[in-house]
Amino acid sequence: MALDQSFVGRSYPPTDPYEVGREKIREFAEAVGDTNPAYTDPDAAKALGYPDVIAPPTFVFSITFKAAGDVVRDPQLGLDYSRVVHGDQRFAYTRPVRAGDRLTVTSTIEAVKSMAGNDILDVRGEVHDETGEHVVTAWTKLVARAAEEA
Amino acid sequence: MAAKIAYADVEVGTELPAQTFQVTRATLVQYAGASGDFNPIHWNEKFAVEVGLPDVIAHGMFTMAEAVRVVTDWVGDPGAVAEYGVRFTKPVVVPNDDEGATIEVSGKVAAKLDDNTVRVDLLATSAGQKVLGMSRALVRLA
C-alpha cells in the first residue's frame, strides 16, 4: 500500500523527557563490551572535559527510535510495522549524551517513498537537553518490505 | 574534548587498528535488554525463520555500536565523534553455538577536512560478507 505523501514534513510534539542515568550507560557499554572509562568512571570523563560520564555514540538510538516508533505507528500513515527493517542510521552530535541529561526528541518525517513495492520512510529526530540546547540529531531510514503475493 | 590523535599526524590512507568482535546469542539477549530492542528476530530462531531470515540475526544497532569502537578506541575520547552513519546491507547471522558470529572491522582516514576533522571510512564484514555500507564517521582530532 502506498503511503500518504502528505505526511512529508510533518513534525510531532516533543517527547516527555528521558533522564539519562549513569547505570543505564554502564549497562549499555557492558552490553557492547566497550570498556572505555569515559562511560563508567566520572573522573575519567572529567579528565576529558565532561561534567559526568558520557554515553557511547549509538546509545541515544534507544531514545530516538522509541520516538520514531510513535510516528511510524500513526495509523493514519498506514505503515505495516510488522514488516519494517532498519535501512540506514546516521547521527550528528553537538556534544555527547551524558549522565544527568533530560532529553526530549522531536521527530519529523523527512521523506516517504515507494520503491519496488517497499515503503521507505525517513525520520529525523532532534534531541535537546533540558536547557533547550541541541545535543544530537538522528536520521533513521525504515523500510517496510513488500508483502509476498498471496 | 581530548582526542589523543593529532590532526597533523594523520594522512589520507592512515589505517586505524582493526578489531574483531564476537557475538553470541547471549550477547544479543544482553544487548536487547540494554537497548530495549526486544524484536524476536534477535533471539527466537523459530520466529526469525518464519519471517524469512536464515537464522537469528544481530541487531543492526549492535553492529553499528561495535564498528565505531575502531574509531573511539583510536581517538580515546568518544566525544570526538561528530557524525556517524551506516547503511545496513546484510544481516549478521548468529548461530546457536558457543562461537556465534564474528564481526571484523577496519577503518582508514578517507579525507582531511576543516577544523581538525577527518572522515574515517569503516569496513565491517561477517562470514566474508560486508554487513555495513557507507559506514563513515567524522572525527575531531587534536
Give the whole-angstrom CA distance, residue A46 versus residue A38: 8
Is the predicted pLDDT of residue A149 greater than 60, yes or no?
no
- B27, B31, B84: residue with CB nearest A91: B84
Residues 6+ apart with CB under 8 A from A48: A38, A54, B1, B2, B76, B77, B79
Model-level ipTM above the cut of 0.90:
yes
CATH architecture of B7-22+58-140: Roll (3.10)
User: What mean pLDDT do residues A18-43 have?
Assistant: 98
Residue A38 lies in a domain: no
Domain harbouring A72, CATH code? 3.10.129.10
Examine residue A29 and state whether it is found in any structural domain, yes or no: no
Query: Chain B within 8 Å of A12 (Cβ-Cβ)?
Result: no
Residue of B nearest to A98 (CA): B79
Q: So what's the pLDDT on residue A150?
A: 39
Work out the pLDDT band at A34, boundaries 50, 70, 90. Answer: very high
* Cell numbers found for residue A19: 533522564
| Structural domain total, chain A | 1
Grid coordinates standing for B19? 578489531
Closest partner CB to B78 (pick from A38, A61, A65): A38
Q: How deeply is B13 buried, as exposed, middle or buried, from its count of CB atoms within 10 A (0-12, 13-18, 19+)?
A: exposed
Based on the number of CB atoms within 10 Å of its own CB, is A37 exposed (0-12), middle (13-18) or buried (19 or more)? middle
Mean pLDDT of A20-35: 98
> Does B50 contact chain A (CB < 8 Å)?
no
The pLDDT assigned to A148 comes to: 63
Cell 572522515, located at residue: B119
Residue carrying the nine cell digits 510533518: A10
pLDDT digits (tens, 9 = 90+) for B92-129: 999 999 999 999 999 999 999 999 999 999 999 999 99
DSSP 8-state symbol, B76? S
pLDDT for position A146:
78
8 Å CB contact of A89 and B85? yes
Of B2, B61, B62, the CB nearest to A49: B2
Domain that residue A120 falls in: 10-20+56-144
In a domain, A39, yes or no: no
Domain positions in chain B are 7-22+58-140
Is A1 strand, coil or helix?
coil
pTM of the model: 0.96
| B88: contact with A, CB 8 A cutoff | yes
Contacts of A89 (CB under 8 A, 6+ apart): A61, A138, A139, A140, A141, B60, B61, B64, B85, B86, B88
Give the lowest-confidence range in A38-42, A104-108, A141-145, B53-57: A141-145
Average pLDDT over residues A96-109: 98
A132 domain residue, yes or no = yes
